[in-house]
Chains A and B, each alone.
Chain A
């Protein structure tokens, strides 16, 4: 880090960071190299495969296409921010149980795309799941078990909400 570089401030997984770096450095590289959050992967470097998907201010973005200056002041969520206190996120549980991850390299991006999908649409139809994940390529699974994972997670989240509602009463 050089003093010549501007300081970019943003929040990743709830934690604030200030990084002195080239403003045009890719968010992907800042996450991986500067913050050592290597869960986010590079697959193509041109926004086609979705392996580098992260959530930024409630949007799903390809972090290989985002210059870090665009992240100034932003809230970013990566795969490392899904599990809370070591407890797997419902989507992570579902991917594990349904066989939604094989080689695992597309998985972080796929999880972020699925998180985004369920945040906007907690009970997507199969067509909506296919559309929601169409920007994320998986070469291992043929997607079938990823779809099942999302369905399972959506139904598990419903159960969780019900549980909480029961407790609240």
Chain B
């Protein structure tokens, strides 16, 4: 049987860490010195002293500032742009689409999104014109003196309108992407079903609300080309975009990531647009130009999580076994394609949940609307489709009259089962164990019994809800093969090993975990390792920092690069089998004397036996899966109609945990963000413009709203991940929304099928219900 170490992540100091073995076979977890230990965050001291340099902390002598003039209508032709004479425009640099030396598009999957609108706007707040001036206080007035007149066209704002195709706003049919996933024969199952259960589930947009807004500094030099510094996740995405916009060769564009104050996917694609803007202003003005958004601009103009509508029709036999899952996934992609196709792909693949079902059909569509393009956000489509399936499981349980826990247990995937894409679960699947642990730790059954009694009196109704789910780690299907990542280490003359990756730190712990892996692999100290600032002129392209791939995929490359470096030093520089740190660095210098540099790079190699067919959506959708069961305890106040998450338990298997403090922090942070997704965070659009684009009225959970969060890891090392790790970052965001709404169903008896679920939504549903009237016996 598989080996587990259960590590409660609620730890603080190393001395108080409680790690206990769940079974006596813990020896399959490799013994390590640094990997697995709660070593301190690599850049932590700089952050705590306030000396970490974020983009807005950087000033340059004589620097100019940039501002964006944006569309005020959701769709239409630009008839004219005029400049009010009250402004002395000779002081300003003004950039329009006509100033773009290369291609006017943001390089991503499809080249449909202009860097600056040229004749036509497709959403409110679309960038049309850029201004730069040495005095940032003069920019707002100047922007208000740019008059743009439009010939409006009819806009489309919702999935339902877009799919009717009465008004075509994108391509020939409004359809950005569709997928069809089929296993077995769904239509043959209906006649044999004991029960058929249908449901429709909707999720709203969600703002990342990283506390550091988007920002970028750009510089143009005729000799060296363009350099940008900024808050971003993917330096090589920005690099590729700038190459196209400026029509420059690769060595004439340099992208440097500055300390980044949160991202969550929100700085995956948008920085390509902002970097292009800042660079265009720098190119035309000849000055260094800084563009930093304020909160209102960041909220109004940058990407959000895709809204979704998911419909389920499910055939179940009399024992509660799933016979057929017929699923329709629809997402709102916004005005341009951006990442909608890949988000839809992940939504499709996660829509059947962690269950075995012989017949599955998923029809998925992403529809264009005239809103700011929706983009990457932690979970990337999975939270939307997992909300649907996990709410639906509770509705199925209610319809056939069995315990929702039991329904899940009867249908869980196990080792050797196949998923909807007919991927065989070759690695251990321990959902039963995760579920048992979640039930025990939350005292699930005793509490439900107690709440059922207590709820009979008093205005506060309590309930418990559960969600079970997986998340695919790394890029989907053949994605990692296409990325073909290169990563490694070198040794600098000052006697430090330096990590060379394009993967960025934005809070998740990239710097720390990769340093742990390098130190472990090289058998040197954690403090002997530093991380190169991500700079496309220094680091190789190790792929984007997305999809929970960094620790698993890039970490594995660093582990291999370490082993490779030791072989190089043993073979060419006389390093012994056992060595001290001084001996290691002495060998590095001997190697340098011969070879000029000490560098070890490794390229991605796909795990063997992986097959994926992009056309039929069959095969190994992901190289590894992480698994979780979460339990939410929610109190609904039937006087104020507020729903409060009182307690939360999360049990997960994420491969090996390389740093328990960081891993626990990822889980807790993801859960808090997903509590906001479920109960607080509503993007209100008016004529396609975000009306509540302020922290005053876009509400995220505060220190007073987040419940105690209990985190438990079960560890099964993944042989192709960095020291056994799989991805963690996105998983915790997948489950809380359905768990919370299932708890509200348990508390009130009412199934809510849409998030965010605000007090006014609870009020509408709970207050107008028929009063219970006892009829006197005749």
Binding site for B on A (CB under 8 A): 32-33, 37-46, 48-49, 51, 78-80, 82-83, 88, 92, 95-99, 101-108, 111, 129-131, 133-148, 152
Rounded to whole angstroms, the CA-CA distance of A88 and B661 in the bound complex is 20
Q: Are A104's CB and B261's CB within 8 A?
A: yes
What residues of A have a CB within 8 angstroms of the CB of B47 in the complex? Answer: 101, 104, 107
Rounded to whole angstroms, the CA-CA distance of A131 and B703 in the bound complex is 7
What residues of B have a CB within 8 angstroms of the CB of A39 in the complex? Answer: 49-51
CB contact under 8 A between A152 and B709, given known A101-B44, A104-B43, A108-B50: no
Tell me the smallest distance from the CB of A11 to a CB of chain B, in Å: 18
Q: Are A140's CB and B702's CB within 8 A?
A: no
CB contact under 8 A between A48 and B507, given known A97-B12, A106-B211: no
Q: Are A38's CB and B50's CB within 8 A?
A: yes
What residues of A have a CB within 8 angstroms of the CB of B509 in the complex? Answer: 102
Residue of B nearest to A96 (CB): B44
Of B26-34, B237-245, B303-311, B692-700, the one contacting chain A is B692-700
Rounded to whole angstroms, the CA-CA distance of A38 and B259 in the bound complex is 13
Which residues of chain B from 21 to 68 have any CB-CB distance to chain A below 8 Å in the complex? 38, 40-41, 43-54, 56-57, 59
Of B332-340, B664-672, B759-767, the one contacting chain A is B664-672
Chain B's interface size range is 35 or more
Q: Are A140's CB and B262's CB within 8 A?
A: yes
- B367 on interface, CB distance cutoff 8 Å: no
Tell me the smallest distance from the CB of A74 to a CB of chain B, in Å: 19
- B704 on interface, CB distance cutoff 8 Å: yes
Contact of A133 among B59, B209, B261, B703 (CB under 8 A): B703
Contacts A98-B12, A102-B507, A105-B212 known; list 4 others, CB within 8 Å. Answer: A97-B40, A102-B262, A105-B54, A145-B661
Q: Are A99's CB and B41's CB within 8 A?
A: yes
Q: Are B211's CB and A103's CB within 8 A?
A: yes
- B712 on interface, CB distance cutoff 8 Å: no
Tell me the smallest distance from the CB of B744 to a CB of chain A, in Å: 20
Q: Report which residue of A103, A107, A131 has the largest number of chain B beta carbons within 10 angstroms of its beta carbon.
A: A103
Rounded to whole angstroms, the CA-CA distance of A41 and B295 in the bound complex is 13
Interface string of B582-593 (1 = CB under 8 A from A): 000000000000
What residues of B have a CB within 8 angstroms of the CB of A145 in the complex? Answer: 661, 664-665, 668
Residue of A nearest to B659 (CB): A99
CB contact under 8 A between A142 and B211, given known A44-B694, A99-B662: no
What residues of A have a CB within 8 angstroms of the CB of B264 in the complex? Answer: 139
Q: Are A143's CB and B50's CB within 8 A?
A: no
Rounded to whole angstroms, the CA-CA distance of A111 and B59 in the bound complex is 25
- B260 on interface, CB distance cutoff 8 Å: yes
What residues of B have a CB within 8 angstroms of the CB of A101 in the complex? Answer: 41, 44, 47-48
9 A-B pairs in the complex with CB atoms less than 8 angstroms apart: A88-B45, A96-B41, A103-B263, A103-B506, A107-B50, A137-B695, A140-B665, A140-B669, A141-B672
- B250 on interface, CB distance cutoff 8 Å: no
CB contact under 8 A between A139 and B211, given known A46-B295, A99-B665, A104-B259: yes
What residues of A have a CB within 8 angstroms of the CB of B12 in the complex? Answer: 97-98, 148, 152
Q: Report which residue of B47, B53, B213, B506 has the largest number of chain A beta carbons within 10 angstroms of its beta carbon.
A: B47
Interface string of B209-243 (1 = CB under 8 A from A): 11111000000000000000000000000000000
- B454 on interface, CB distance cutoff 8 Å: no
* Closest A-B pairs by Cβ, 8 of them: A39-B50, A105-B261, A103-B507, A104-B47, A142-B672, A102-B507, A79-B50, A48-B695
Tell me the smallest distance from the CB of B526 to a CB of chain A, in Å: 14
Q: Are B695's CB and A92's CB within 8 A?
A: no
Q: Report which residue of B40, B211, B672 has the largest number of chain A beta carbons within 10 angstroms of its beta carbon.
A: B211
What residues of B have a CB within 8 angstroms of the CB of A80 in the complex? Answer: 49-51
Tell me the smallest distance from the CB of B512 to a CB of chain A, in Å: 10
What residues of A have a CB within 8 angstroms of the CB of B709 in the complex? Answer: 142, 144
Tell me the smallest distance from the CB of B506 to a CB of chain A, in Å: 6
Q: Are A134's CB and B704's CB within 8 A?
A: yes
Q: Are B209's CB and A96's CB within 8 A?
A: no
Residue of A nearest to B292 (CB): A42
Which residues of chain B from 670 to 718 have any CB-CB distance to chain A below 8 Å in the complex? 670-673, 694-696, 700, 702-704, 706, 708-709
Contact of B695 among A37, A44, A147 (CB under 8 A): A44
What residues of B have a CB within 8 angstroms of the CB of A135 in the complex? Answer: 702
Q: Are B53's CB and A46's CB within 8 A?
A: no
- Count of A-B residue pairs with CB < 8 Å: 176
Q: Report which residue of A46, A129, A144, A148 has the largest number of chain B beta carbons within 10 angstroms of its beta carbon.
A: A144
- B550 on interface, CB distance cutoff 8 Å: no
Rounded to whole angstroms, the CA-CA distance of A146 and B673 in the bound complex is 15
Q: Are B702's CB and A134's CB within 8 A?
A: yes
Rounded to whole angstroms, the CA-CA distance of A82 and B49 in the bound complex is 8
Rounded to whole angstroms, the CA-CA distance of A11 and B263 in the bound complex is 35
Q: Are A49's CB and B695's CB within 8 A?
A: yes
What residues of A have a CB within 8 angstroms of the CB of B38 in the complex? Answer: 99
Residue of A nearest to B506 (CB): A103
- B13 on interface, CB distance cutoff 8 Å: yes
- B294 on interface, CB distance cutoff 8 Å: yes
Rounded to whole angstroms, the CA-CA distance of A82 and B54 in the bound complex is 20
Residue of B nearest to A93 (CB): B48
Rounded to whole angstroms, the CA-CA distance of A45 and B668 in the bound complex is 27
Tell me the smallest distance from the CB of B365 to a CB of chain A, in Å: 31
Which residues of chain B from 244 to 263 have any CB-CB distance to chain A below 8 Å in the complex? 259-263
What residues of A have a CB within 8 angstroms of the CB of B262 in the complex? Answer: 102-103, 105, 139-140
Rounded to whole angstroms, the CA-CA distance of A87 and B50 in the bound complex is 14
What residues of B have a CB within 8 angstroms of the CB of A45 in the complex? Answer: 294-295
CB contact under 8 A between A79 and B49, given known A104-B43, A104-B259, A104-B261: yes
Q: Are A95's CB and B700's CB within 8 A?
A: no
Q: Are A96's CB and B695's CB within 8 A?
A: no
Q: Are B694's CB and A48's CB within 8 A?
A: yes
CB contact under 8 A between A146 and B209, given known A80-B49, A107-B47, A108-B50: no
What residues of B have a CB within 8 angstroms of the CB of A78 in the complex? Answer: 50
Tell me the smallest distance from the CB of B713 to a CB of chain A, in Å: 15
Interface string of B274-286 (1 = CB under 8 A from A): 0000000000000
Contact of A96 among B48, B54, B260 (CB under 8 A): B48
Q: Are A102's CB and B661's CB within 8 A?
A: no
Q: Are A142's CB and B52's CB within 8 A?
A: no
Q: Are A142's CB and B48's CB within 8 A?
A: no
Rounded to whole angstroms, the CA-CA distance of A134 and B706 in the bound complex is 10
Tell me the smallest distance from the CB of B319 to a CB of chain A, in Å: 39
Residue of A nearest to B13 (CB): A97
Q: Are B56's CB and A42's CB within 8 A?
A: yes
Q: Are B703's CB and A103's CB within 8 A?
A: no
- B162 on interface, CB distance cutoff 8 Å: no
- B508 on interface, CB distance cutoff 8 Å: yes
Tell me the smallest distance from the CB of A78 to a CB of chain B, in Å: 7
What residues of A have a CB within 8 angstroms of the CB of B52 in the complex? Answer: 104
Q: Are B50's CB and A142's CB within 8 A?
A: no
Tell me the smallest distance from the CB of A109 to a CB of chain B, in Å: 9
Contact of B703 among A40, A92, A108, A134 (CB under 8 A): A134
Tell me the smallest distance from the CB of A86 to a CB of chain B, in Å: 9
Residue of A nearest to B671 (CB): A142
Tell me the smallest distance from the CB of B140 to a CB of chain A, in Å: 13
Q: Are A137's CB and B702's CB within 8 A?
A: yes
Q: Are A96's CB and B261's CB within 8 A?
A: no
Rounded to whole angstroms, the CA-CA distance of A141 and B209 in the bound complex is 13
Tell me the smallest distance from the CB of B443 to a CB of chain A, in Å: 20
Rounded to whole angstroms, the CA-CA distance of A104 and B50 in the bound complex is 8
Rounded to whole angstroms, the CA-CA distance of A137 and B673 in the bound complex is 12
What residues of B have a CB within 8 angstroms of the CB of A43 in the complex? Answer: 211-213, 295, 695
Residue of B nearest to A51 (CB): B211
Rounded to whole angstroms, the CA-CA distance of A64 and B64 in the bound complex is 22
Q: Are A139's CB and B661's CB within 8 A?
A: no
Tell me the smallest distance from the CB of A32 to a CB of chain B, in Å: 8
